[in-house]
Structure 1
Amino acid sequence: MPRKRPRVVIVGAGFAGYQCARTLLRRTRGAAEVVIINPHDYFLYLPLLPDVAAGALEPRRVTVSLTGTLKGVTLVLGEADGLDPARRTVSYTDPEGVPGRLGYDRLVLTVGSVNKLLPIPGVAEHAHGFRGIPEALHLRDHLIRQAEMAAVTPSPAEREARTTAVVVGAGYTGTEVTAQGVRLTDALHRQSAALGQGPRPRWVLVDLADRILPELDPRLSRAADRVLRERGVDVRTGVSVREATGEGVQLSDGTFVSSRTLVWCVGVRPDPFVASLGLPTERGRLCVDAALRIPTHPEVYACGDAAAVPDLTRPGNLTAMTAQHAHRQGRLAAHNIIASLSHGRLRHYRHHDLGFMVDLGGADAAANPLHVPFSGPLAAAVTRGYHLLSQPGNRSRVAADWLLDAVLPRHAVQLGLVPARAVSLETTTPTAPPADRARMVRRE
């Protein structure tokens, strides 16, 4: 049936999807129907997830209610699993397995990314991913459990293995997980009478690059490296994982690290839903023009990690898969959708990075806002201030948690809410049957 208002359907509510919906609602003021299809009812502020894993922040602090902050949006809980551009419909499956279908006038694909897997024996079975709240909570419980089991084992070798963690990938996520994780395990070590008599917990950070945080200015990389080493982290560059087992990790330099904890932070790849659509891709990401439209279907937009957006500031390159780009692409997609509905002028995406910040926990951070590099307590204050301003909700609660964490000991207990089977690193296997998951009806 004909609709009185044009309907814009947004698939995904990450940085790109959230900002697109927010901008549409503000600027159309009810003139367009904005619908979000998302598996959860919240926007996840990913940069603070390491704080959740380390127990510095409660999980709900990094989640922002979609319906609570996006007044006027229609939220459809479900996983998108098909697209029919001829009929302008997108299909999905709700949390109870019931299929549904939505018509659209404009569609925005912001399905994001998942863990990048490499063909290394044992990694999918033994490694912990780090892409959402379940993984963060599971990792926190796992570290606490290993410390508690190490405290009662009579075997020194087993105690060492249970208090050793290996993190693969020294980019932003891997470095922050390591920096925050050390603070948690050191707190557990101090609180345990049995563990306090032995050596402190060990963290090993490995990466094939010649330095940690290779994306940052070398001065910031060295500053972060110094902080980690001062905390006792064994930083190994130019090294990768050859095999993972239940007993530990075999590294490419021939050494074997006995450990019960392997955290996988080697990067991300577009959600498998992208490949199921049958649309042109580049490096696994949907091909779009500079206005974020899919050329063969100009009513369909894509942005964020799922889109291969040409970088006009560096001809021949694509924009990086970062929250900074996703945030701004979401806003531009909203502008161009409004322009297309009201015969306005389309804009092309052009953005220079404004710098990056790495929170190392406590009074340490490395930052280069506006490409001015500095580190230490000032960088920590700037980094946390930036996160408070960037997060669209829960700012007071986040600040209160940080303050309490600075003056009170960590509350180290296992919640047991997330079983290991719920956070398997292998994310390529869809929950729906392949025939349903990858259906795309194309009519000429």
Structure 2
Amino acid sequence: MTSTVTTAVPKILIVGGGYAGFYTAWKLEKELRKGEAEVTIVDPLPYMTYQPFLPEVAASSIEPRHAVVALRRHLKRTTVVAAKVTGINHAQKVATITPIEGEPWEQEYDQIVVTAGAVSRTFPIPGIADNAIGLKTIEEAVAIRDRLMSNFDRASVIPAGPERDRLLTVVVVGGGFAGIEIFAELRSFASALLKNYPQLSFDDTHFHLIEAMSRIMPEVSLKTSEWVLKDLAKRGANVHLDTQLTSAVDGNVELSTGEVIPTDLIIWTAGVMANPTVVRGGDLPVEERGRIQTRADLRVGTEEAFVEGAWAAGDVAAVPDLSGGGVGGFCVPNAQHAVRQAKLLAKNLTAVLRGELPKQYFHKNLGAVAGLGLYNGVFQSGKIALKGLIAWFAHRGYHTLAMPSWERKWRILWGFWNNFWLGRDLVNLETVQKPREVFEQFAARPRPPQPVEAAPSDKAAPEKVGAGAKTSAAS
């Protein structure tokens, strides 16, 4: 199946429906005049995930569906294709589309926007691929929540000992923002669960965070990060600095210090990398860290030259940070940059279609905010640091406003209001991962065919008669 391109209307193909992809399409719908271009967005998932809320989804503070944005509901003039882009031949301006169902096809385009995002970056540590779980998708956040709650159920009916300790031990690898947030949120969540499990005590729960560097949260000041460490220590959480994970076979987390921590829940947040399926499957230029080489105006290419008709933004792109605050001179992979880059990309693409010049992306980081559990957080902007309840309100307020569309904002706010009066929703739906298990257990099945008994042979009687006659004759 091959789509054709007409010269009348430019075709814009957006690869990936995450922050950058969704916001690019959303903004293009506002910037483009009717009939000025046709926009198609390709992603195997029908929604954008707002990743800053994933730790709170895992801690049952936010309803999972409220942390995602349905593409088809909010992109009214964009064609949404449930598929993956598995190849980009920009020399011919053709992309290979591999759908969820059916055969792949080639789709031609005039302008391509690569916003395929990032995936968890892991190392070949024994046991990690088999036992750990990441924190990049809504499904992972829900699985973490349900696993922790199921482990509380299992631990509550067995005596104290190594197995109960293993079920109630959580290990988080990575001390960046994502790692600290999920670590602190789950510690808060576990403490809240205890009141419903009289068989268990606070001392039965064990939380360990593993960080290879000598500090956590490099996005904030050292003083602020030290406050976070002290706050976590007060809540019974253990942070292992200057420590590496060497093995996780069978859930036994072995550290470079020689310590072994048996656990049933390992969460990996130690870095991300650009989506390799898209980056390696195309002919667009790639820089040394595996990201698509991108200019400050968000066109693919170098400062000296750009690739005609190719754009990139978000975690998959190496966008120069003109503010001077980026790591290695590039924008760090976070939602703050992805959203702003996407909005400018849509404006720049529209400008180029109209024969105008694009503008360069410039954004100076105004601060960082993180949730550390219910009613606790930290906020850093320059030398100003807020901690505790006021920082938690800043965290919730900022991210609620950052959610696209008022429909999503109201759902988030309504959930906050309900939880304030009713508390966390402690429903465990882990069995949804095996929805047919109960049905199969009791479903009636056809009885297996019974073996048919052989009917007496007609030759049996004559043989007996013959035998008898011979016997008589012999006698």
Q: TM-score, normalised by structure 1?
A: 0.90
Checking the alignment, whether the CA contact within 8 Å between 2:147 and 2:430 is kept in structure 1 is: no
| 1:21-420 equivalences in 2 (<5 Å) | 21-30=25-34, 31-196=36-201, 199-273=203-277, 274-282=279-287, 283-295=289-301, 297-314=307-324, 317-369=329-381, 372-393=384-405, 394-410=408-424, 411-418=426-433
Q: 1:296-354, CA deviations, whole angstroms, 9 ceiling, x for partnerless residues?
A: 63211111111111222339611111111111111221122112111111212222112
Where 2:96 maps in the other structure, the secondary structure is strand
- Which moved further from structure 2: 330-339 or 104-113? 330-339
Q: 1:63-104, CA deviations, whole angstroms, 9 ceiling, x for partnerless residues?
A: 112122222111111011111223312121111143133221
Residue 417 of structure 2 aligns with an amino acid whose one-letter code is L
Alpha-carbon shift at residue 36 of structure 1 (Å): 0.6
Where 2:363 maps in the other structure, the secondary structure is coil
Checking the alignment, whether the CA contact within 8 Å between 2:134 and 2:269 is kept in structure 1 is: yes
Residue of structure 2 in register with 1:435 after alignment: none
Aligned CA distance change for structure 1 residues 398 and 301 (closer, same or farther; 3 Å): same
Structure 1 residue ranges without an equivalent (≥5):
420-444
Where 1:199 maps in the other structure, the secondary structure is helix
Identical positions, percent: 34
* Distance in 1 separating the partners of 2:283 and 2:159: 57
* Distance in 2 separating the partners of 1:14 and 1:186: 33
Q: 1:175-211, CA deviations, whole angstroms, 9 ceiling, x for partnerless residues?
A: 1111111122222222112224x72411111101212
Q: 1:13-35, CA deviations, whole angstroms, 9 ceiling, x for partnerless residues?
A: 11111221122111113222111
Checking the alignment, whether the CA contact within 8 Å between 1:227 and 1:364 is kept in structure 2 is: no
How many aligned residue pairs are there? 418
Residue of structure 1 in register with 2:9 after alignment: 5
Alpha-carbon shift at residue 10 of structure 1 (Å): 0.7
* Distance in 2 separating the partners of 1:187 and 1:25: 44
Residue 322 of structure 1 aligns with an amino acid whose one-letter code is N
Q: TM-score, normalised by structure 2?
A: 0.84
Checking the alignment, whether the CA contact within 8 Å between 1:169 and 1:265 is kept in structure 2 is: yes
Checking the alignment, whether the CA contact within 8 Å between 2:88 and 2:96 is kept in structure 1 is: yes
- Which moved further from structure 2: 67-76 or 310-319? 310-319
Residue 396 of structure 1 aligns with an amino acid whose one-letter code is W
* Distance in 2 separating the partners of 1:81 and 1:405: 42
Residue 161 of structure 2 aligns with an amino acid whose one-letter code is P
Residue of structure 2 in register with 1:430 after alignment: none
Alpha-carbon shift at residue 412 of structure 1 (Å): 3.7
Checking the alignment, whether the CA contact within 8 Å between 2:167 and 2:264 is kept in structure 1 is: yes
Checking the alignment, whether the CA contact within 8 Å between 2:127 and 2:251 is kept in structure 1 is: no
* Distance in 1 separating the partners of 2:196 and 2:268: 28
Structure 2 residue ranges without an equivalent (≥5):
435-475
* Distance in 2 separating the partners of 1:389 and 1:64: 14
* Distance in 1 separating the partners of 2:400 and 2:88: 37
Checking the alignment, whether the CA contact within 8 Å between 2:219 and 2:368 is kept in structure 1 is: no
Checking the alignment, whether the CA contact within 8 Å between 2:189 and 2:373 is kept in structure 1 is: no
Aligned CA distance change for structure 1 residues 140 and 168 (closer, same or farther; 3 Å): same
Aligned CA distance change for structure 1 residues 23 and 68 (closer, same or farther; 3 Å): same
Structure having greater relative contact order (Cα 8 Å, sep ≥ 6): 1
* Distance in 1 separating the partners of 2:246 and 2:131: 13
- Which moved further from structure 2: 275-284 or 339-348? 275-284
Checking the alignment, whether the CA contact within 8 Å between 1:223 and 1:366 is kept in structure 2 is: no
Where 1:361 maps in the other structure, the secondary structure is coil
Structural RMSD (CA):
1.8
* Distance in 2 separating the partners of 1:68 and 1:76: 14
Checking the alignment, whether the CA contact within 8 Å between 2:131 and 2:251 is kept in structure 1 is: no
